[in-house]
Amino acid sequence: MEQIKTFFNYHKALMQRLHSSGFSELNKANKLKELTTLCSQLLNIDSVAIWSMSDCGDSMNRELCYESQHGHHHRPYRLERAEHLVYFKALEAADILFTHNAYQDPRTCSLRNSYLNDNSAMSAMLDVPVYDSNRLYGVLCLESHVERYWSLTDVACATVFADTISLINTHEAWLNSRKELDYITSFDDFTGLYNQSSLRYRIQQLMDQKPQSEFALLWFDIDRLNAINNGMGGQVGDAVISEIAVRLRGMVLSGKDMVARVGGDEFAMLYHLPKQKDQMHEVIDTIMHTIHQPIHLGTQDLQISTSVGIALYPSDTDDLSTLIRCSESAMYQAKADGRRQAQYFNQKKSATAKASFLMKNQLIEAIAHGDLSVVYQPVMSGNAQDIVSCEALVRWQHHHLGFLSPGEFLPLAYDAGLIADIDFWVLEQVCKDIKLSRARGIIMPSVAVNLSADALIDPLLADKIWDLLEKYQVLGSQIELEMIEDAIKDDSSQLQQTLDKLVCLGIKLSIDDFGTGYSSLLRLKNLPFTKLKVDRSFIEHLPQNADDCAITLSILGMAAGLGITVVAEGVENAAQEQWLQQQGCNYLQGFKYHKPMKFEDLLRALKTT
pLDDT tens, 141-153? 998 888 888 888 8
Residue 529 gets the label, from left (phi > 0), alpha (psi -120 to 50) or beta, of beta
pLDDT of 388 = 94
Inform me whether the pLDDT recorded for 472 exceeds 70: yes
pLDDT of 475 = 95
Residues near 485 by beta carbon (within 8 Å), at least 6 away in sequence? 511, 513, 514, 516, 517, 518, 519
| 481, 508: one domain | yes
Report the pLDDT averaged over residues 88-98.
80
Contact assessment for residue 266 and residue 215, using Cβ atoms and an 8 Å cutoff: no
Beta-strand pair 59-67/71-73? antiparallel
**Could you say which of 345, 378, 394 is where a domain stops?**
345
Helix residue ranges, H only, 78-149? 85-93, 115-118
Q: Is the pTM of this model over 0.85?
A: no
pLDDT tens digits, 161-191: 888 888 888 777 676 666 655 656 778 888 8
Report the pLDDT averaged over residues 408-418.
77
In a domain, 140, yes or no: yes
Through-space distance between the first and last CA atoms of the chain, rounded to whole angstroms:
118
What's the CATH code of the domain at 134? 3.30.450.40
pLDDT of 1 = 62
Least confident of 40-49, 280-289, 318-327, 343-352: 343-352
What is the spatial distance between Cα 526 and Cα 4, in angstroms, rounded to a whole number? 99
Helix residue ranges, H only, 187-233? 196-208, 225-232
Contact assessment for residue 450 and residue 412, using Cβ atoms and an 8 Å cutoff: no
pLDDT of 399 = 75
In a domain, 590, yes or no: yes
Query: What residues are paired with 447 via a beta bridge?
Result: 390, 479
Inform me whether the pLDDT recorded for 520 exceeds 60: no
Inform me whether the pLDDT recorded for 69 exceeds 90: no
Report the pLDDT averaged over residues 423-432.
94
| 150, 263: one domain | no
| 596, 449: one domain | yes
| 331, 451: one domain | no
| 154, 228: one domain | no
In a domain, 583, yes or no: yes
Report the pLDDT averaged over residues 414-443.
90
Inform me whether the pLDDT recorded for 12 exceeds 90: no
| 211, 166: one domain | no
Least confident of 150-159, 375-384, 417-426, 511-520: 511-520
Provide the pLDDT confidence category of residue 137 given band limits of 50, 70 and 90: confident
**Could you say which of 316, 345, 374 is where a domain stops?**
345
| 253, 129: one domain | no
Provide the pLDDT confidence category of residue 380 given band limits of 50, 70 and 90: very high
Considering its fold, how many domains does the chain have in total?
3
| 442, 331: one domain | no
In a domain, 190, yes or no: no
pLDDT of 518 = 53
Contact assessment for residue 227 and residue 339, using Cβ atoms and an 8 Å cutoff: no
Report the pLDDT averaged over residues 28-49.
87
Compute the mean pLDDT over every residue in the chain, rounded to the nearest whole number.
84
Residues near 486 by beta carbon (within 8 Å), at least 6 away in sequence? 453, 517, 518
| 458, 549: one domain | yes
Cα 466-607-472 angle, rounded to 5 deg: 15
What is the spatial distance between Cα 127 and Cα 107, in angstroms, rounded to a whole number? 12
Report the pLDDT averaged over residues 10-17.
79
In a domain, 189, yes or no: no
106 or 391, higher pLDDT:
391
Helical packing angle, 152-186 and 28-43, nearest 10°: 180
144 lies in which domain range? 2-183
pLDDT tens digits, 550-584: 888 988 988 888 889 999 999 999 999 999 999 99
Work out the burial of residue 587: count CB atoms within 10 Å of its CB; fewer than 13 is exposed, 13-18 middle, 19 or more buried. Answer: buried
In a domain, 403, yes or no: yes
Provide the pLDDT confidence category of residue 451 given band limits of 50, 70 and 90: very high
| 209, 103: one domain | no
What's the CATH code of the domain at 451? 3.20.20.450
1 or 474, higher pLDDT:
474
What is the spatial distance between Cα 78 and Cα 58, in angstroms, rounded to a whole number? 10
**Could you say which of 315, 345, 375 is where a domain stops?**
345
Report the pLDDT averaged over residues 406-434.
86
Report the pLDDT averaged over residues 124-151.
86
What is the spatial distance between Cα 605 and Cα 592, in angstroms, rounded to a whole number? 15
Report the pLDDT averaged over residues 27-40.
86
In a domain, 356, yes or no: no
In a domain, 354, yes or no: no
| 275, 208: one domain | yes
What's the CATH code of the domain at 320? 3.30.70.270
| 472, 448: one domain | yes
Catalogue the long-range contacts made by 90-93 (C-beta closer than 8 Å, 24 or more residues apart).
91/127, 91/129, 91/139, 92/57, 92/136
pLDDT of 357 = 62
